[in-house]
C-alpha cells in the first residue's frame, strides 16, 4: 500500500456509530472516506477520487486502490460505493470501484436534473443517461444500511442542485456544504447552485445534536493552518464557522457567500469532470480508434 496518502481514523462512539477513515487527495484537496460498521465489518466508500492530470489528461486510481488495500488489510467487506454529488473538481472512481469489487454505486436522484443542465453546456442533447450508470438514486429521506448502521439521506442543494448528505449514526458526511470552521462554507456559484439554498441545507445539517461528527468534502488549509483537516462537530461549526457564527442571518450569509464566489476561478478539472461524473466515473464512450476524448465547451464560462 502507498504510504504517501494522508489518512486519519475517527473511532466509533458506541452502538450505531461508525468508525470513519478519512483520506486525502492532495492534488484536488478532496477528502474521501471509508465508513465502517464495527459490528459487521461492512463498509462504504464515499466520494473517492479518480485522478486526472489536467496537463496530459491522463487518469489513474491511486486513491481508490489505497482504499481497497485498506479494506482488504482490515478484513472489511465493501457494501456500497457512494458519492454525494457529481463533483466539479475531481473525477469519481465509482465505476472503477464497482468493476473491481461488484459493490453497488449510489448518488442522489437529482443527478438527473444536473445531467439535463449540463447537456446544454456540452451541446449534447442525448448525453449522460444517468440511470444506467448508478445502481441506486437516493431521494430525500431515503434510508438504507451499512452493515447494522442506519443511514439517512438528506437532499442538500446549494453547491449543486442535487447534492445529498449521508447521516450514518452520529457521522454526517456533509460533502461540499461546510468546510472546516476556520475556512467557512463551500461555493455556490456552479450551474444550478444558489447561496440561499446552501444556507438552508447547512441549517438542516446543523439541526443535529452538537456532538455529531461532520466530515467535509474539501480542505485546502488556511493562512494559519497548513495541515489538511476534515472532521469537526455540529457544535464546533455553530460556534466557530467564520461564515455562520455570531448569528449571521440568511441575507448576511448569502451576501457574504456571493461576494466571495465572485472572486473564484473555475476548478481546472471541472469541464472534464462533469462529463465523466455524470456517467458514474466512466470516461466518454471510446471512438472508432478505441480511445476516449473529452469535449470542452469554449467561451461558456
Residue-level pLDDT at 3: 57
Spans of all domains in the chain: 9-265
Residue 298: burial class (beta carbons within 10 Å; 0-12, 13-18, 19+):
exposed
- Reduced to 3 DSSP states, what percent helix, strand and coil does the chain have, rounded to the nearest 5? 25, 25, 50
CB-based contacts of 85: which residues, under 8 Å, 6+ apart? 107, 108, 111, 114, 159, 160, 162, 163, 164, 175, 176
**pLDDT, average across residues 112-125:** 93
* Beta bridge partner(s), residue 257: none
Q: What are phi and psi of 30, to 5 degrees?
A: -90, 140
What percent of the chain is predicted at pLDDT more than 90? 92
Residues 161-184: pLDDT tens digits? Answer: 999 999 999 999 999 999 999 999
Taking alpha carbons only, the member of 23, 31, 20 closest to residue 2 is: 23
Residue-level pLDDT at 1: 41
Residue 296, CA distances (Å) to 111, 199, 271, 272 in order:
20, 31, 6, 7
Residues 31-79: pLDDT tens digits? Answer: 999 999 999 999 999 999 999 999 999 999 999 999 999 999 999 999 9
In CATH terms, the fold of domain 9-265 is Metallo-beta-lactamase; Chain A (3.60.15)
What percent of the chain is predicted at pLDDT more than 70? 99
Taking alpha carbons only, the member of 83, 31, 54, 18 closest to residue 280 is: 83
Residue 127 gets which letter from DSSP?
Answer: -
pLDDT at 242 over 90: yes
- Residue 138's pLDDT band (cuts 50, 70, 90): very high
CB atoms under 10 Å from CB of 48, counted, come to: 28
Residue-level pLDDT at 245: 84
Residue-level pLDDT at 4: 83
Is there a contact between 194 and 158 (Cβ–Cβ < 8 Å)? Answer: yes
- Residue 127's pLDDT band (cuts 50, 70, 90): confident
Residue 10 gets which letter from DSSP?
Answer: E
**pLDDT, average across residues 259-274:** 94
Amino acid at each position: 500500500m502507498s504510504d504517501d496518502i494522508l489518512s486519519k481514523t475517527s473511532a466509533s462512539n458506541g452502538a450505531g456509530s461508525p468508525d470513519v477513515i478519512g483520506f486525502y487527495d492532495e492534488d484536488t484537496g478532496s477528502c474521501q472516506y471509508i465508513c465502517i460498521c464495527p459490528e459487521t465489518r461492512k463498509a462504504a466508500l464515499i466520494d473517492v477520487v479518480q485522478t486526472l492530470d489536467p496537463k496530459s489528461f491522463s487518469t489513474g486510481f491511486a486513491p481508490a486502490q489505497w482504499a481497497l488495500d485498506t479494506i482488504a488489510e482490515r478484513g472489511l467487506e465493501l457494501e456500497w460505493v457512494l458519492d454525494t454529488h457529481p463533483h466539479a473538481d475531481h473525477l469519481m472512481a465509482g465505476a472503477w470501484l464497482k468493476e473491481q469489487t461488484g459493490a453497488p454505486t449510489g448518488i442522489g436522484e437529482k443527478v438527473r436534473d444536473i445531467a439535463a443542465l449540463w447537456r446544454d453546456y456540452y451541446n449534447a442533447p442525448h448525453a449522460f443517461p444517468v440511470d444506467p450508470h448508478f445502481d441506486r438514486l437516493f431521494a430525500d429521506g431515503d434510508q438504507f444500511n451499512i452493515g447494522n448502521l442506519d443511514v439517512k439521506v438528506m437532499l442538500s442543494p446549494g453547491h449543486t442542485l442535487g447534492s445529498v448528505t449521508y447521516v450514518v449514526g452520529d457521522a454526517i458526511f456533509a460533502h461540499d456544504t461546510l468546510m472546516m470552521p476556520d475556512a467557512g462554507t463551500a461555493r455556490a456559484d456552479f450551474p444550478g447552485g444558489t447561496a440561499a439554498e446552501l444556507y438552508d441545507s447547512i441549517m438542516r445539517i446543523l439541526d443535529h445534536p452538537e456532538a455529531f461528527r461532520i466530515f467535509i468534502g474539501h480542505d485546502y488549509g488556511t493562512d494559519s493552518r497548513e495541515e489538511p483537516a476534515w472532521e469537526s462537530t455540529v457544535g464546533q461549526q455553530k460556534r466557530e464557522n467564520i461564515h455562520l457564527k455570531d448569528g449571521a442571518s440568511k441575507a448576511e450569509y448569502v451576501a457574504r457567500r456571493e461576494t466571495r464566489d465572485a472572486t473564484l476561478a473555475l476548478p481546472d478539472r471541472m469541464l472534464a469532470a462533469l462529463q465523466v461524473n455524470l456517467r458514474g466515473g466512466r470516461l466518454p464512450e471510446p471512438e472508432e480508434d478505441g480511445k476516449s476524448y473529452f469535449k470542452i465547451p469554449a467561451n461558456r464560462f
